[in-house]
Structure 1
Amino acid sequence: MFGLIGIALTFAMVFGGYILAGGKLGVILHSLPYEMMMIGGAAVGSFLLSNETSVLKHTAAGLGRALKGPKWNEQDHQDVLSLLFQLLRMARAAPVEIEEHIENPESSSIFSSYPKIAADHNAVTLIADTLRSASLNYDDPYQVEEMLARRIALMNEEAMHPPHALQNMADALPALGIVAAVLGVIKTMSAIDQPPEILGGMIGGALVGTFLGVFLAYGLVAPFAQRLSAVTKQDQSFYDVIKSVLVAGLHQHATNLCIEVGRQASPEHVRPSFVSVETALREIKRAA
């Protein structure tokens, strides 16, 4: 919602100020389709040239995420703590029973209780692979922590490709605007014998290219890249919570303490309260 308001405010202030200052939109509107074709087309072409197919797909989806906001909210952080609580209790009380849940998460009654988490491939595989390693006696907490840190770092690096790709496009747009403006100047110079009023319109049209490149770069694409980067980083912190709980479990801490370690690892604005987590865990114990 705030993203759409920001876009509307940007356009209103820039073009509203131009009109109130006595500017005429006719020159801009006349040149806009051609300048947009050159600048936008070149930007999209260079974007396709410099990025892999996976990055292109994730960037397209990321534009919606930038407007919608982070995927994981406070309830999701509480749900993953509840999920891990059940799995850790079972792993300690009934090591044989835990195998069916980590080998077939899609049919697990525990995972299915939290459909949003179960639908996230990264979260499920992170949990299942770590618990599987522990069941195979690969239970050195420091080695597991290092393994999880490398895995999450790789996930973070891959997740940040779309924001970096958008930022690279933003950095290129002003230069592409200059290219379009130079072409407009070349066109103007070829008509140097025309009256001043015609030459003025042609020069004004050429300058639209410079304006458009800078405006798209700093008014739209760069803010989208920044917003997507912030959303991605917040979503990736969800996996740090999972890592914290699993590593604490391998240190053989009490299950409730493992969950508290994970709760403290959640970002403050999506961190569930101690009371709400304790209430959820109490209900799980009562149901068991």
Structure 2
Amino acid sequence: MYLIIGAIVVIASVVGGFTMVGGNLLALWHVNEIIVICGCAAGAYVIATPPKVMKSALHGMKSLLKGPKYRRADYVDLLKLIYELLLKIRREGTMSIEGHIENPKDSAIFQKYPKVAADDHILAFITDCLRLMVGGNMNPHELESLLEYELETHHQEALEPAHSIQKVADALPGFGIVAAVLGIIITMSIVGTAPPAEIGEKVASALVGTFLGIFIAYGFVGPIASAMENRAHEDGKAFEVIKMALVASLRGYAPPVAIEFARKLLFSDVRPSFQDLEADLKAAKG
């Protein structure tokens, strides 16, 4: 929703300001300039970007039209899931969850939280971490170091689509100059043979190329890249929460304390209060 509102504000501001001083909107419409700028940008993007990243970038732009992947209630479910697993480990030992992590789709604990269980990346991260705790005989420092490396790799991969779109935004003003130079070349070729009015029209057309390159870059493509980067940071918070809770548990903290450590990592807009989460955990424990 905010993406659409922002785009409307950008277009309305430019169009409104231009028409207020008597500008003719048709003077800004030059298909040849759009073909040069957008075509060059698209071609350069294909050259520079691996297919995997292009596919992820397309998916990321589509996801901007939706809400965030995880909301407050989803984080509460995630914390409750981790709490139940840690509580079972504390009561019955680490081997008691082996069946749950080997077949999470059939686990009674995981089935209580369908959204978390449906996220393959989160599910794999949880089960892999618990598998290390069950059979790896790792100390907290080793597990924390390993998980930090894994999270660093995950964040780098999640940010690649946004960075690739940002590179397009950085290149668009240059392609606008290319379109403008082509227009000036055409203009100079008719100097002396064409009337001043036609020459002025050609110059204006060339300047539109510069305008479009800058307008598209800073009005749309750059902000979209920033929005994708912010969304990647938000979606990655769930992995950090899981890491914190499991490492805290491995250090010997009781499940409620480990979950409290994880809760404090959440952004304020999705972080449940201590009292609310405590009530949810008591319900899960019951």
Q: What's the TM-score, normalizing by structure 2?
A: 0.96
- Residue in structure 1 matching 2:85, options 79, 84, 87: 87
* Runs of at least 5 residues in structure 2 that lack an aligned partner in the other structure: none
1:146-177, Cα deviation, whole Å (9 max, x unpaired): 00010001000000001111110000000000
Q: Which residues in structure 2 correspond to 1:25-174 (within 5 Å)?
A: 25-29=25-29, 31=30, 33-94=31-92, 95-174=94-173
| Cα contact 1:69–1:231 (8 A) shared by 2 | no
CA distance in 1 between counterparts of 2:104 and 2:57 reads 29
User: Structure 1 residue 271 and structure 2 residue 265: aligned?
Assistant: no
Tell me the CA shift for residue 15 of structure 1: 1.1
| Cα contact 2:95–2:134 (8 A) shared by 1 | no
The corresponding residue for 2:213 is: 213
Aligned Cα RMSD in Å?
1.2
Tell me the CA shift for residue 213 of structure 1: 0.2
Tell me the CA shift for residue 129 of structure 1: 1.0
Q: Percent identity?
A: 40
Q: Secondary structure at the match of 1:267?
A: coil
CA distance in 1 between counterparts of 2:169 and 2:106 reads 45
Tell me the CA shift for residue 282 of structure 1: 1.2
CA distance in 2 between counterparts of 1:81 and 1:87 reads 10
Q: Which moves more between the two structures, 201-210 or 85-94?
A: 85-94
Tell me the CA shift for residue 189 of structure 1: 1.6
Tell me the CA shift for residue 111 of structure 1: 1.5
Distance 1:137 1:212, change over 3 A: closer
Q: Secondary structure at the match of 1:40?
A: helix
CA distance in 2 between counterparts of 1:165 and 1:116 reads 29
Q: Secondary structure at the match of 2:269?
A: helix
Q: Secondary structure at the match of 2:253?
A: coil
Tell me the CA shift for residue 182 of structure 1: 0.5
Tell me the CA shift for residue 69 of structure 1: 4.1
Q: What's the TM-score, normalizing by structure 1?
A: 0.95
1:188-225, Cα deviation, whole Å (9 max, x unpaired): 12222111111111111111110000000101001111
* Runs of at least 5 residues in structure 1 that lack an aligned partner in the other structure: none
